[in-house]
Amino acid sequence: MPVMEIKKAGDKVLKEVAAPVEKIDRKIKQLLDDMAETMYAADGVGLASPQVGISVRIVVIDVGEGLIELINPEFISREGCESGSEGCLSVPGMYGEVERYSKVTVEALNRAGKKFRITGTGLLARALQHEIDHLNGILFIELAKTIHKG
C-alpha cells in the first residue's frame, strides 16, 4: 500500500464538493487502505479523500481508539458548542481556534456497504466535522477565529 501525496491548501481539489461513492468495489477498498496508511505516516488523526486528490466522499479517522472508515458520511444530529485548536495535513504548520459542535452523530457506510452510525464527542466530534468539511470543499482556516503558526 503506497503512501499518497497529501494535497496542500491552494489545490483546487480541496475546494470541490466531493461526489458520493456509487459502488464500493476493490478500488474503493484499496483507497481506504492507502488513505489510512497515508494518515498514519503523516501522524494525522483524520484524512479525507480530496486531501489525496480523489474527490469522493470518503474519510478515515483514528483519534487513538482504532481506525474508523466512513463512506458517504452524513450528519444525523449535532448539539452543543465548543472551541478548540485544529491543524490540518493540507495546511502544514498552521493552527487555528475553531468553533464546532461538541457532540455529533454521523451515518455512513462501512467498507462492506453496511450502514452504521457513530456518535462522537471531544476530539472525535471535532475530527468528524473537520473531515466532512473537506468533503464539502471547506478548510479549517476558513472557519478559524484565530490562526497561528505552530
Chain segment 35-89, per-residue pLDDT in tens? 999 999 999 999 999 999 999 999 999 999 999 999 999 999 999 999 999 999 9
Give Cβ neighbours of residue 85 (< 8 Å, ≥ 6 apart): 95, 96, 97, 98
Structure confidence at residue 145 (pLDDT): 96
Q: Which domains does the chain have, with CATH numbers?
A: 12-149 (3.90.45.10)
pLDDT of residue 1 exceeding 70: no
Please indicate, yes or no, whether the overall pTM of this predicted structure exceeds 0.85.
Answer: yes
* CB atoms near residue 10 (< 10 Å): 10
pLDDT tier, 11 (very low <50, low <70, confident <90, very high otherwise): very high
Is 131 considered catalytic here?
A: yes
Q: Are residues 54 and 67 in contact, defined by beta-carbon separation less than 8 angstroms?
A: no
Q: Name residue 91's beta-bridge partners.
A: 88
Query: Nearest 10 degrees: CA dihedral of 121, 126, 129, 133?
Result: 180
Give which of 136, 1, 21, 138 is closest to 69, Cα–Cα: 21
Catalytic residue, from 82, 86, 97, 131: name it.
131
Distance CA 85, CA 50 (A): 22
Q: What's the pLDDT tens digit per position in 106-141?
A: 999 999 999 999 999 999 999 999 999 999 999 999
